[in-house]
Structures are given as structure tokens and as C-alpha cells.
Amino acid sequence: MLLRQRTAEEPDLSELRDDSEVHPLGSIPLARVRDDLAVAERARRLLDELLLVCEREVQDAYSAQVPNLEGKVAIVTGAGRGIGREHALALAEAGANIVVNDLGAALSGEGHDDTPAQQVVQEIEAQDGEAVANGENVADFAGAERLVAQAIERFGRLDILVNNAGILRDRMIVNMTEAEWDSVIAVHLKGHFAPTRHAAAYWRERAKAGEEVRGRVINTSSPSGVFGNVGQSNYGAAKAGIAGFTLIVAQELQRYGVTVNCLAPNARTRMTEDTFDMGAPAEGFDPLDPSNMSPLVVALSADEAQGITGQVFHVWGGAINALQGWSPGELFASDEKWNADALLAELTERFPGGVAPTGMVAGMQAAGGQSLRAQ
């Protein structure tokens, strides 16, 4: 801008017609003045071009704030709605091709509808991304194998697996039915195992063939599983199992270049809207918008995150906490086998007021979040 203003004040070269004239300011021949001005004009044009290049570089630097996942292929399970949909959109925005898996089940896990997955595919395509729908049940071992195969057949590879699909069948333990227990354990725990198992076999094959694998598994636990929520012994047990599964599979797959991490999310979706009173604020940042869960998934998927594995992250709005689960606590050490009476005396002495879980809300608050109930 400044450069343009300066040139606007320069004399018009076309006025300098006669080489014999002298410049009114002194005895410099006009021909030389004209040459110098021509050189200055060329320099100005060059500087303008340089300025344009710099502007483009600055723009690129800002637009490159999303890690570049161009050329990568991701499967997101349960991506037809809620948190999974946001993960799929965010990964696509970062450049990945997406397999949008969703059974299209009711919250309790019943029924099948291909529409939610197809709609998310359309949303990604409308943003110039590439995606394909998949309606497999993640708890079906053969279905999970077909899901992984579809990613490889359609897009030629698989880099990222986000295990997110889930259902709820809450009940106090005294009344819980066998079906309520089995279905929730199946969708969450087996629904994490089955796709991971087939993706892991694929990555091991690639690594053994000499490829540099940068695989990603991103699992979904819950505050219910890591802190313990009343009325969710089936769901919480599955979600605690997913945290444990993350720790083990992270260690098993490290040698093949695959990282395995886990989210414990909090968001307003159909899963939580009936249970919790947590409307969106009239204006400003909405901590429970499900899209708040996805930057961590995109970040963990980046090549630069290759060293981060086996972590369980609690996410509440902008507060992301790398949880420390089951770290060593009070030690009752004896050089020989404990006598039960002596041990009881030691227990009651060390825990004079007794000891019990603090519950989910206290855990969430300690991790930087809040209760989802009305404050």
C-alpha cells in the first residue's frame, strides 16, 4: 500500500520527452533521471510481487492451523450423529478421506437405518471432501472386518480408526437385565475390539512389508467409566474396559508404528440430553457443543503426534485433561504373608473414616470440567 502511494507521487515519465532538457531541481540530465525512474519502477513492481508472495505465505500459515491429513484414510464408527459426526467432519476438513460407519440404531441399540451415515457423507462431499457410508454393526466381528476392508478397497489404505459408536441401557444393578448388560458390553467393548483387531492386522502386515506405518486408534471411554456413575454399571464397566484396552493395545501396537489413545468426552447429544439439564448458552462459547471433542482427534491423528500413545483424555469444553488412572496409592507392605487380623487393623488405622469413591461429578470437576446437571 505504502509503495503504491509513493509511486503515485512520482513524476509522469511520459513528460520527459527531450533528452537535452535538465531537471528543474538541478543539473542532472533528464535522460538519466528517466533511466533512474525506470529502474525505480521495475524495483517497485518487484517489491509489489514480493509483497503478494508474503501475503500468500501469511494466509497459508493461518489456514494451515488445522493439521494436514491430506492422503490419509479414516474410519469413524457411530459417525451418523452426535460426537462421531463431528469427528468425521473435522477429519475430512483436515483432508482425510472418511468411512462414515453408523448402524443407525436407536439410543438403546435397536433398529437399523442407513440415513444418518449417508447424510454425513453428503455433508462431507458438499465441503469437497471424500467419504463413503458403511452400515455395519461394530460389535459384529465379520462386519468389522468388512468395514476395514471397505476403507482399503475404496481409498487404498487405512490410517486412522476412531472407535466411537455407542448405546445406553441404564439401570440400577438390582434391576438390570441380562440383555441390558450384554448389549451394552457388546456394542462398546466388543465394538472397540473388533474394528481394532482387523485394523491392527492390516497395519502389522504393512509394517512387516517394510512400510513406515503411522496408524492411529482413537477410542471412546466416558467419565462414567473412569470416575464411576451410578446407574451405569454396564456402560461404565464397558467404558472402564475401553480405557484398559487402550493401555494394553497401545503397548502391543507401538512396534508397528500405531498409537492408541482414548477420549472421555462430554457433549450435548441425544445420549445426554434426556438425562442432563444442560442447554446451550444464549451466546458465547458452548462447552457442551459436540464439536469441541474433535480437535483432539485431529491433533492425535497428525504425524507429529507419533510419540503420544496409551493416554486417556477427559474433554469438557476447552479443558482437556490427560488422566492418570490407577496410579499407585496407599501401600500395605509386609515381608511375609499378611495375617487377616493384622491387615484389618492396619486398614482401619490407615483409613480411619473409611474410604469410598468420590463419584463421577467430583472426578469431572477435578479434571477441569463440571457436572452436566443444572448448576
Ligand X SMILES: NC(=O)c1ccc[n+]([C@@H]2O[C@H](COP(=O)([O-])OP(=O)(O)OC[C@H]3O[C@@H](n4cnc5c(N)ncnc54)[C@H](O)[C@@H]3O)[C@@H](O)[C@H]2O)c1
- Report the interface residues with ligand X, using CB under 6 A: 77-78, 80-84, 101-105, 107, 109, 116, 137-139, 164-167, 187, 191, 220, 222, 265-267, 269-272
> Three cell numbers at 115?
440415513
Q: Would residue 190 show up in a list of annotated catalytic residues for this protein?
A: no
| Closest by Cα among 87, 66, 65, 67 to 76 | 87
What is the spatial distance between Cα 162 and Cα 197, in angstroms, rounded to a whole number? 13
Catalytic member of 183, 222, 224, 301: 222
Catalytic residue among 72, 221, 233, 235: 235
Single out the catalytic residue among 190, 239, 294, 301: 239
Number of H helices, E strands in the chain: 13, 8
- Report the residue number, 273 or 346, with the smaller CB distance to ligand X: 273
Q: How far is the CB of 216 from ligand X (least distance, A)?
A: 17
* Closer of 33 and 195 to ligand X (Cβ): 195
Residue 248 beta carbon to ligand X: minimum distance, rounded to whole angstroms: 19
**One-letter amino acid identity for 50?**
L
**Distance of closest approach, residue 129 Cβ to ligand X, in angstroms:** 19
DSSP β-bridge partners for residue 100: 76, 133
Judge whether 222 counts as a catalytic residue. Answer: yes
Q: Taking the complex as a whole, how short is the minimal distance between the CB of residue 277 and ligand X, in angstroms?
A: 13
Choice between 83 and 297, CB closer to ligand X? 83
Question: Which residue's Cβ lies closest to ligand X?
Answer: 82
State the Cα–Cα distance between residues 292 and 169, nearest whole angstrom. 25
For ligand X, which is the closer residue by CB, 206 or 233?
233
- What single-letter DSSP state applies at residue 164? -
To the nearest whole angstrom, how small is the minimum distance from the Cβ of residue 116 to ligand X? 5
Which is nearer to ligand X, 7 or 371 (by Cβ)?
Answer: 371
Q: Residues with Cβ < 8 Å from 3, sequence gap 6 or more? A: 44, 47, 48, 51
Query: Is 337 one of the catalytic residues?
Result: no
Q: Which residues are designated catalytic?
A: 222, 235, 239
